[in-house]
Amino acid sequence: MPTEVLMPALSPTMEKGNLAKWLKKEGDPVKSGDVIAEIETDKATMEVEAVDEGTLGKILVPEGTADVAVNTPIAMILAEGEDAAALKDGKRAPAKQSQAEQAARQQKAAEPAPPAQQAESPKKAEAPARTGTAQPPSTARMPEPDVPAGTELVSMTMREALRDAMAEEMRRDPDVFVMGEEVAEYQGAYKVTQGLLDEFGARRVIDTPITEHGFAGVGVGAALAGLKPVVEFMTFNFAMQAMDQLINSAAKTQYMSGGQVTVSIVFRGPNGPASRVAAQHSQDYSAWYSHIPGLKVIAPSNAADAKGLLKAAIRDPNPVIFLENEILYGHSSQVPRLDDYVLPIGRARIVRPGKDVTIVAWSMGMTYALKAAEELTKENIEAEVIDLRTLKPMDSDTIVKSVKKTGRLVTVEEGWKQSGVGSEIAARISEKAFDYLDAPVTRVCGKDVPMPYAANLEKLALPSIAEIVEAVKAASYR
Amino acid sequence: MLLIRRFEEKAGQMYGMGLIGGFCHLYIGQEAVVVGMKLAMRDGDQMITGYRDHGHMLACGMDPKGVMAELTGRRGGYSKGKGGSMHMFSLEQKFYGGHGIVGAQVPLGTGLAFANKYRGNNNVCLTYFGDGAANQGQVYESFNMAELWKLPVVYVIENNRYAMGTSVARSSAQPDLWKRGASFNIPGAQIDGMDVRAVKAAAEQAIAWCRSGKGPTILEMLTYRYRGHSMSDPAKYRTKEEVDKVRTEHDPIEQVRRRLLDKKWASEDDLKKIDAAVRAIVNEASEFATHDAEPDPSELYTDVYH
């Protein structure tokens, strides 16, 4: 029986990739371990090794095909003794690109690409939750007050938006530099800094050894001298090594010095669970950092916010913890095409207005919240979904105003329940909107366990859309 | 050196009177280290150290009134009373603190040197830490990066033999601290830190090396503190005889005094005048620090955004 070779997932969050090159031709012998093809994802170029032995019978996906979904059959291998006749004529083409997507890609290619944007990253369609049929079109994306009417919107991934933010700030201010593990020559462990080394050189894009405690301190020292470092942690799990420098040296110095010394530094990187990376690599640090006076803490959920807020963070004279998310890096959404798109830190945004219940979320939590809101519409419950965007300083005024309208509040976070950010929100609402509450505040959180590895357990450990829907219905006494 | 000595003695006294609270780590006996190093620095070079920092501040030319008033927690202190003994800075005098976490200043100083190289300003950062801090992991992370990137930083290890109550012999598998950079190819030297001339000579060589772009150096200063680790330390881990021996035979200030007199570079009268002038400065500082007002309560919420 001929065996199918399937498009492999080369990272926990990979959903598709480009089949860049075939290293074997039809008719070539294949042994276990032979490299037969090269695949490009938005993160890296990887090799595909054959597991089965035989002859490469048929190539199903030609070289150069983009956006091949994981598990698509890409070739057939004939076992010893089989010949071409054994191949079924079942050529399965990869998912065909829609006309619109193709047109958009061509248009993008025609525009002069900014030097930092060299990656051929597959453009995902806008996340369905934000254009669900239940949403009135005018509120699908509430414009920031400072984006001029008629501004062109460009679709890009959050990864690209973050890169653009850093590149723009580095062009604007020679004191801004980037450092971290693999940020330069590797083009970024998650390809967020891709292209920066080429444009700005090794003096301003610096690969560090694996020494978080040390290089966080070096970054703070450089900030004491007046430079503006952007320090990348490969994930915030590794930042625990550096915690003393972040809190005792960065956060507290302005206060301890009576205002004489400021520390303008950004610490950024992926936070929270990714996919199947288990307990030591999945922690959500929102609650820890937002506890500290002197730190600003930002957690964007989409590309436009990521760009505008990272630019603001780099300009801010305070130390900023910029919590990104590995899964969100690949999500595309609309970003205004403006020369200098900077958003205010400390302002939440009502992403979806509603009258029956308030749901507050941030970062990955917004994905669950918006999908839950869609589900709730089917039950005639209109949820108002607020994207907190900044955890510290927290815009509780926007939440209070909303709760005064809806009378019910559900918070959503991936972090653990005890002493989580939802607890803080609940306390503030209790203080400022007690008389307006028709039900207790409910927190939907990651479960209070270290993140398990097994796929089913991980799903259970994370918050779910169903849990949010249930919480809303309970708060609505349905 | 005399200014530092008298200032620290006065601070000790004021602590006993309850005018200074919390932590107070005195530099008495170690004066030659910072003064010798400072003599080799030039304008633009920076200094950073841990919490035994009053001597460093005075050596950098910071105002004794501002330092003492910070110790007493008054509004005229360098940090408006909000930092205390371990958290004073002067950007003007290029003194970058004043840090309370053992070893934290080492990556920070390495970062200051990084900024110097980034800007191409030819300045050198002197980063001080003690024998206790020399076992902190972040010190070695800093050494690695400093040598890898050839950063202009001189690491000055003030080995006063005791990290609080633990001697170097009890804490360190490699007690020759000047060798601690060997794993990273950083040159090191061991200096008699009680002799200000030896310190200055070593400083000049080390700073020149760094300034020429050859990377970091390590200077282990053999020094001694007469008082305990801090004001709350009865120092039972060493004998009175040991302290007395160092004080009678190796005191950094007494060495200079005798040399000045022996070589007739100064008379007893000259030295008395210097002593009086120093005491006057210290007394003025003490008076100011005792009578200045505490910070206004509104300062509780300033210097941190909300």
Please report whether residue B300 resides in a domain. Answer: no
What DSSP character marks residue A261?
A: -
CATH 3.40.50.920 placement within chain A? 349-475
pLDDT of residue A48: 79
Residues in chain B with CB shorter than 8 Å from the CB of A249 are 99, 101, 104, 108
Chain centre to alpha carbon of residue B223: 12
Token couple for A70:
């994981």
Cβ contacts from A onto B, under 8 A: 136
Judge whether A291 counts as a catalytic residue.
no
Task: Say whether B78 and A258 touch across the interface (CB within 8 A).
Answer: yes
| Residue B303 within any structural domain of the chain | no
Closest CB to B112: pick one of A224, A244, A393.
A224
So what's the pLDDT on residue A368? 98
CATH of the domain at B99: 3.40.50.970
CB contact under 8 A, A258 and B91: no
Instruction: Tell me the two tokens of residue A292.
Output: 């500290």
Q: Which of B79, B106, B112 sits opposite A257 (nearest CB)?
A: B79
Residue B262 falls within a domain, yes or no?
yes
A249/B99 Cβ within 8 A? yes
Annotated active-site residue A281? The verdict is yes
Residues of A in contact with B136 (CB under 8 A): none
pLDDT attached to residue A123: 38
Phi/psi of residue A251, each to 5°? -65, -40
Q: Which fold has domain A3-80?
A: OB fold (Dihydrolipoamide Acetyltransferase, E2P) (2.40.50)
B304 is a domain residue: no
Nearby residues of A297 by Cβ (< 8 Å), 6 or more positions away:
A286, A289, A290, A320, A321, A323, A390, A391, A392
Round to whole Å and give the CA distance between A475 and A429: 15
Judge whether B302 lies within some domain. no
Distance from CA of A135 to the nearest CA of B (A): 35
Query: For residue B147, is it within any domain?
Result: yes
- Which of B45, B63, B145, B183 best tests the A interface by mutation, with the highest count of A CBs <10 A? B145
Q: Which of B110, B305, B306 to mutate to test the interface with A (most CBs of A within 10 A)?
A: B305
Name the residue in chain B with its Cα closest to that of A294: B304
| A393 vs B: CB within 8 A | yes
Nearest CA in chain A to B299: A258
Considering the domain boundaries, does residue B301 fall inside one?
no
Count how many domains chain B has. 1
Q: What is the mean pLDDT of chain B?
A: 97
Element containing residue A121 per DSSP (H, E): none
The residue written with tokens 């050894």 in the block is A209
| B141 neighbourhood in chain A, CB within 8 Å | 209, 211, 213-215, 217
Contacts of A223 in chain B (CB under 8 A): 111
Domain limits, CATH 2.40.50.100, in chain A: 3-80
Nearest to A239 by CA among A289, A205, A274, A192: A289
Q: Do A214 and B109 touch (CB under 8 A)?
A: no
Q: Domain limits at B275?
A: 2-291
Does A258 sit within 8 Å of B305, measured CB to CB?
no
pLDDT in tens, A4-57: 888 877 666 677 888 888 988 898 988 777 878 888 877 667 777 777 778 888
* The domain defined by A349-475 carries CATH number 3.40.50.920: yes
Rounded mean pLDDT, B242-261: 96
Q: Are A294 and A318 in contact (CB under 8 A)?
A: yes
* pLDDT one digit per residue (tens) for chain A, 478 residues: 788 888 877 666 677 888 888 988 898 988 777 878 888 877 667 777 777 778 888 899 988 888 888 878 888 888 777 776 666 544 433 333 333 334 434 444 333 333 333 333 333 333 333 333 332 333 333 345 568 888 999 999 999 999 999 999 999 999 999 999 999 999 999 999 999 999 999 999 999 999 999 999 999 999 999 999 999 999 999 999 999 999 999 999 999 999 999 999 999 999 999 999 999 999 999 999 999 999 999 999 999 999 999 999 999 999 999 999 999 999 999 999 999 999 999 999 999 999 999 999 999 999 999 999 999 999 999 999 999 999 999 999 999 999 999 999 999 999 999 999 999 999 999 999 999 999 999 999 999 999 999 999 999 999 999 999 999 999 999 8
Q: CB of A440 within 8 Å of any CB in chain B?
A: no
One of A199, A281, A291, A470 is an active-site residue; which one? Answer: A281
Task: For chain A, say whether B97 makes contact (Cβ under 8 Å).
Answer: yes
The pTM for the full model equals 0.85
Indicate yes or no: CB of B118 within 8 angstroms of CB of A227. Answer: yes
Distances (CA, A) of B261 to A30, A172, A425, B31: 91, 61, 72, 20
Which B-chain residues 178-197 have CB contacts (< 8 A) with chain A?
A: none
Residue B297 lies in a domain: no
Q: List the alpha helices (DSSP H) in B44-195.
A: 54-59, 64-71, 105-119, 137-148, 168-171
CB A121 within 8 A of CB A160: yes
Q: Which of B106, B115, B304 sits opposite A225 (nearest CB)?
A: B115
Please indicate if any CB of chain B lies within 8 Å of the CB of A367: no
Close Cβ partners of A314 (under 8 Å, ≥ 6 residues apart): A165, A166, A169, A173, A176, A228, A230, A266
CATH number at A145-336: 3.40.50.970
